[in-house]
Structure 1
């Protein structure tokens, strides 16, 4: 409630924009993810008189081609989504003899928020109100609450619309682009003969990497015994504490403490100063003397991490987190469903 109210206070959204955003969100929920690539060889570039097309990109830079597929699929989906929205509103407007712009709001009359509702919003967002009193902000709070009522009404109306006129995106499925990603004896979870191998390039200091760990854990739980998860170091150069944290974590592998340290470092990713990392390593159960002895071999530790970075860059990794599901590239802290869809398909092969 706090973040929603703050954003609404900073930039109140018009009814039309609200309705449009709502429609797109619901359209995508009921859609089938897929991809059209009918004429990719028609688009080309000529270099020194020699013509190159997207098939050449696919052969020489599979990750760049994979990104192209994802972005193109999203563009096609957005374009068809806009068209579908307009058509749905036209159909309903014709049935009800109203304007398309009235479809989501027809029959809506906001009720006056209760004093209790108003007070709850005020108390929850007091820090964002710049010290203003309830009386000074009451009108804006009422507007916010009525706006929420309208959004809820629009959601209900749209659910009825897609029940009457189902929306399904019929877009050709993309060909999976795979690259070979070596494991090189890096820490892993899961059986070596698992049908699915996921190689993760990540950074203990990266907030997006930390965010992705919840999804990663859910995937390992759902597909326990079917997934082998490999972690490779990719500390980013602008994260000044990341390299030391990765070196420290690698010192715990021989003692079987790596995954305990892995979890505790991500839990503390906003505070990875050397002293704190040292304390966290010992707290995780790593013998202090063995840890200190290992960290004296800083050059060897760094060389191994640099090798991970170089291997990642060779297969197109430029940021974190980056994942390869049986060689299929996924970039960023994406929702569970993005990974789950690929894994399901891989298990069926």
Structure 2
């Protein structure tokens, strides 16, 4: 409520815009579309007189091809989503003899918010109101609460519409593109014979990598015993503290403390100066003598980390986090459902 009100006060959003966003969300939840199968051979590039099409991209650059499929899928979803929305409104408008633009607000009558509701919004956002009194802001708060009523009415109307006129996305599924990625004895969690192997290229200083760890833990918990998770170093050059943090983590392997160090480094992702990293590592119970001895050979440590980076670059990794689920490339800190869908399909094979 608080964040919604601040956003609305700063820049009131039109009903149509807010409803449209909601419609797309519901449409895509109603039917989880499969991936697109499309080999566009009529579109090509000529290099030195030789023609190359998308099948050549797939053969020589599977990651680039995978990204193409993902972006093409999203484009199809958006295009069909807009089309489906218009058609649904046309159907209902014809049935009820009203304008398509009136479908979602049909029958809506705003009720006057109670004094208690108005006061609650005011008190929750008082610090952001520039010292204005309740009387000075009451009109805008009432408008915000009525706007919320209208949104809820629109959501209920749309649920009724898609119940009567179900929407299913019928998009063909492509061949799965897999990339061979070596583990090279890097730290791992899970059984070696697990049906699912996830290889993660990540950076302890990367905020998106930190965000992805919650999803990663959820996946390991849900598929415990079925999934093997391998971590490979990929500190980005513009993260000045990342390389040292990765070296420090690798120096905890001998004491069997790698994953404890892994967790504490990501928890402190925004504060990875050398002295703090040392303190965090030793705080996990790593032997101080062993740690200091290991960290002396920084050339060797950097060489091992750079080997991970080079291996990642060879298979198309250019940013973090990057994942390979049984060789299927997934880029970025995506929601749980994006990974779960792939894993479910892999388990069924």
Residue 220 (str. 1) matches residue 217 (str. 2): no
Q: How does 1:137-216 map to 2 (within 5 A)?
A: 137-216=137-216
Residue 38 of structure 1 and its aligned partner are, at CA, apart by 4.1
Distance in 2 (alpha carbons) for counterparts of 1:325 and 1:221:
16
TM-score, normalised to structure 2, is 0.97
2:38–2:174 CA contact under 8 A, matched in 1: no
Helix, strand or coil for the counterpart of 2:323?
A: strand
- 2:128 aligned partner: 128
The answer to whether the 8 A contact 2:37-2:175 is kept is no
Q: What's the counterpart of residue 259 of structure 1?
A: 259
CA contact (8 A) 1:32 1:170 kept: no
Q: Which moved more, 1:89-98 or 1:136-145?
A: 136-145
SS of the aligned residue for 2:33 comes to coil
Contact preservation (8 Å) 2:57, 2:65: yes
| Residue 9 in structure 1 maps to residue 48 in structure 2 | no
Aligned mates of 1:127, 1:245 — CA distance in 2? 39
CA contact (8 A) 1:43 1:54 kept: yes
The TM-score with structure 1 as length reference comes to 0.97
- Native 8 Å contact 2:39 2:54 kept in 1: no
Distance 1:212 1:30 in 2: 26
The separation in 2 between residues aligned to 1:258 and 1:342, in whole angstroms, is 28
What corresponds to 2:71 in structure 1?
71
Determine if contact 1:325/1:343 at 8 Å carries over to the other structure. Answer: yes
Aligned residue in 2 for 1:328: 328
Deviates more, 1:137-146 or 1:262-271: 137-146
Question: What is the total number of aligned residue pairs between the two structures?
Answer: 349
Q: Which segment drifts farther, 14-23 or 254-263?
A: 14-23
In the alignment, is the contact (CA less than 8 A) between 2:320 and 2:331 conserved in 1? yes
Match of 2:55 in 1: 55
- RMSD (CA atoms): 1.3
SS in 2 for 1:253: coil
SS in 1 for 2:220: helix
Distance 2:126 2:314 in 1: 50
Show structure 2 runs of 5+ residues with no match.
none
The residue matched to 2:52 in structure 1 has which SS?
Answer: strand
CA shift, 1:187, in A, is: 0.3
SS at match of 2:73: helix
Unaligned runs of 5+ in 1: none
1:166-216 CA-partner distances (Å, limit 9, x unpaired): 000000012211111111110000011111100001111111111111111
Question: Structure 1 residue 39: deviation in Å?
Answer: 4.8
Structure 2 distance, partners of 1:175, 1:168, is 21
| Secondary structure at 1:65 match in 2 | helix
